[in-house]
């Protein structure tokens, strides 16, 4: 069965997309630690980051680097943090999180956003993204 992220990538489930190329898809986390919290996902469905071959790992990091640059340009924050967890969704993904304080790196701290806020921030990051 396809993962929830594959369904998002295929458009079966809606998302707030921020960037995409042939191999990767980046969209806002629906339950963000902070405004602009983004997930970067390979379109090929694998479970664990460190089970990827080295080339796939490095390509994912390269795409995440570009998305992180766009987040930094779009979202006022101290810095962009990166985490890989995967305990909830078994489809490799990188969390890119605008950090203001250490609390934003804590996954039990969540920020509620309206649909309009999600759309606005996704558009802002998308505009700043350069392939």
Of 26, 29, 67, 125, the residue at the interface with ligand 5GP (CB under 6 A) is 29
Query: What is the nearest approach in angstroms of ligand 5GP to the Cβ of residue 71?
Result: 15
Q: Does 103 bind ligand 5GP (CB under 6 A)?
A: no
Q: Could you confirm whether 93 is annotated as catalytic?
A: yes
Whichever of 58 and 85 has its CB closer to ligand 5GP, that residue is 85
Q: Does 85 bind ligand 5GP (CB under 6 A)?
A: yes
Q: Are strands 38-42 and 94-99 parallel, antiparallel or unpaired?
A: antiparallel
87 binds ligand 5GP (CB under 6 A): yes
Stretch that binds ligand 5GP, among 22-30, 40-48, 56-64, 123-131 (CB under 6 A): 22-30
Contact set with ligand 5GP (CB under 6 A)? 4, 13, 15, 27-31, 39, 85-89
């Amino acid at each position: 069965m396809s993962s929830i992220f594959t369904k998002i990538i295929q458009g079966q489930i809606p998302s707030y997309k921020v960037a995409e190329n042939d191999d990767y898809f980046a969209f806002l986390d629906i339950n963000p630690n902070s405004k602009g919290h983004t997930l970067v996902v390979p379109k090929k469905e694998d479970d664990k980051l460190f089970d990827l071959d080295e080339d796939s790992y490095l390509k994912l990091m390269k795409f995440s680097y570009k998305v992180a640059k766009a987040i930094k340009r779009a979202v006022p924050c101290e810095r962009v943090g990166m985490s890989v967890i995967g305990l909830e969704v078994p489809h490799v993904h990188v969390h890119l999180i605008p950090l203001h304080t250490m609390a934003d790196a804590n996954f039990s701290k969540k920020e509620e956003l309206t649909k309009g806020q999600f759309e606005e921030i996704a558009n802002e990051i998308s505009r700043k993204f350069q392939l």
